[in-house]
Structure 1
């Protein structure tokens, strides 16, 4: 059973998120918060598997709460709920250790899949969010976009062939277990590859590595079996 904390200052949004997650028999909501400060307190008390946080909340916002949760309850994964036009917030949240990014207008099943992926240790970027992040990073012109793509490719090219395989699947939202099955490796081997990838790319978490993979064009086209839902 995946234990979830929900934080959003709008009661109707919280109710909607709770209803979507409650539809999955493998997920249970253990606590709800109306702001970031309360979210941190409840995360420390309940130690959920995943905290689903709105980015914009009064007082302590979701990004500040994400950083504090990751610092004090490191076993809790963080999924950020965003709306379009919040690209700067998304990038800040990425830097604070959030590993899941979903848009509020997305498919309900995507919320369930994202929570499951993060609970399983994977990074999950909604395709819409990933596209927005990459577009935002390239927003200051074709030259900058080409420069970032070149830099990302150079970083990825420095990896071993097997690490590039793992990075591409990680960027597609697969968990360690899913990557292991796809590449016919032991899960422990995949974990070692992921640790090496993070160190060699100079990033702190899987979500940041996924952005590099997308920028470098290293994420393979999705196959018939959709990765985040593979274990549902």
Structure 2
């Protein structure tokens, strides 16, 4: 019964979706010692490409900050705290976009006011030759900051804004965070059809199980689906610093 509805969704879905995140403590002397570094790589396959790929990072705490910056117009929409400067590469740094293994040259970068703060928008024009064919692998990486301060529990989440098939989420953690536990939850995932074959677990056996976790979801996911990693810290160091 769902087949006529699902077929067009599959055609526009992001396939073989991969999300890899590595958390690093700030090094000694970092101007934002209460903020972790999130190093993230995302890749997926998509049928068609627009003329321009866009990335936005917004510094705001206002829920209206992303109004007018619609998910379908951006390959990445990210938010950081409003006290952070999105022009600073130590706050947000985008590593570029690769299509079918080819690096795409960056276009212009602009800054614009938004509700509660400021946004940084980067544009990557897609070569005409790539837009003339269907079926492409797109991948990109970036670094952003996540506040932890003296929090004993940290939540890292990834939310989808488009349909996705065959998703895999992986999180690895700097041992300097001194975790007592790391676990991953898929309770906020909405499947399209029957959800079968899911695997949510620690990536490595003890005693390294608290340093990495993975969620594998080999079925279609609906927009709004969220994977959440929960991190419990054993002790709070006076000033956490990155491991060598």
TM-score normalised by the shorter chain: which range applies? Answer: under 0.3
TM (norm. structure 2) is: 0.26
Greater per-residue strand proportion: 2
| Greater Rg over alpha carbons, structure | 2
Flag the structure with higher helix content: 1
TM-score w.r.t. the length of structure 1 is: 0.27
User: Larger relative CO (CA 8 A, sep 6+): 1 or 2?
Assistant: 2
